[in-house]
Amino acid sequence: MPQFALNPEQTSWCAELRALAAEKLRPLAESGAPGAVNRPLLAALGELGLLNHLFPAQALDLCLLRESLAHGCTEAETALALQGLGACPVALAGTAAQRDRWLPKVTAGRAVAAFALSEPGAGSDAAALALSARPDGDGWRLTGTKTWISNAPGADFATVFARTGEEPGARGVTAFLVPADRPGLTVTPLDMLAPHPIGTLDFDGVPVSRKDLLGEVGGGFALAMRTLNLFRPSVGAFAVGMAQAALDAALDHAGSRHAFGGPLRDLQSVSHQLAEMATRVEAARLLVYSAAAAYDRAEPDVATRSAMAKLLATETAQYVVDAAVQIHGAAALQRGHLLEHLYREVRAPRVYEGATEVQRTIIAKELYR
């Protein structure tokens, strides 16, 4: 069997997931309010057992899950992914008490998680974060701002990265598990292009103790990178799922729409475009699977492969969705059309969890190691 060919069980599972996304999850997504946590959708993900695949996560399974859900319901995919991103540090470095309290609720879809790394002055340059954790007795007080945080409006807890030391850059960063009801913590929703909830977290002397630590003092940045190395290939899988949905829509339209005496697919300009789209989608998919397999085998070049997968897949998805819109024409720009939805959804993954330029920087640095 070729290294990245799926076995019959995996192929069948992906088909089941696509059907679930289209038939059961899509109606729940459509009934939700943009910019708010869709708790019925999250509960359905829990009831179907899909959130159980997050902990412990196998990267290839996570990629297959995200790709398949994205094909039929991007909102369901995003809800699942944000649960994983926010709670993954708890699974990786949390105490037994932290894991026992939060992970069962996360996988049941009853507790909403957030991953609070980005700040107004520390987006792509995550190591420049400035949220301070000043010593206070046996604990700390968090002061500062996190922004562009997915799930912030409605999250039950957040993994928060703060500076506990005077060391510059990645050194001196510590991770904390912060419940949303802590005094001094306020949340402001942001009106963003992406339809899922995003907001700003303001910390005004929020108290945290050693019981809230995730891992060791000073080990927060490494924990963030471990989490992102797992989720970056699956962001690529999300992008591949959207690209495949756009390609499928373009193929259907080009086969059924007649113009200039025949179906659009008979026009060389269209058929060559479709061929290019299909080739790029398959290349991105294989690179995503390769990165996921490398993660699951604990290979030393995981950071490089993860960056390559996210880079190629997200850029490919942007190209394919845009090309599909062009093939459809004005109909694809109408509010509510699948491609209008994908056109809005596809832009953000090129920015979050490390922008395209950050991925290129990571790859270039790793080449010279």
205 with 139: CB under 8 angstroms? no
What is the Cα–Cα distance from 89 to 114, expressed in whole angstroms?
A: 11
- Give the whole-angstrom CA distance, residue 321 versus residue 345: 10
What sign has the CA pseudo-torsion 11, 57, 66, 97?
positive
Q: Which residues are catalytic?
A: 353
User: What are residue 147's phi and psi, to 5 degrees?
Assistant: -145, 165
Partners of 139 in beta bridges: 136
User: Which of 307-335 are b and which e, b meaning 16 or more Cβ less than 10 Å from the residue's Cβ?
Assistant: bbbbbbbbbbbbbbbebbbebbeeebeee
Return the percent helix, strand and coil in the chain, to nearest 5: 60, 15, 25
Q: Which helix (H) or strand (E) holds 148?
A: strand 139-150
* Whole-number Å distance between alpha carbons of 12 and 8: 6
HEC assignment per residue over 201-253: EEEEEEEECHHHEECCCCCHHHHHHHHHHHHHHHHHHHHHHHHHHHHHHHHHH
d(CA 152, CA 183): 16
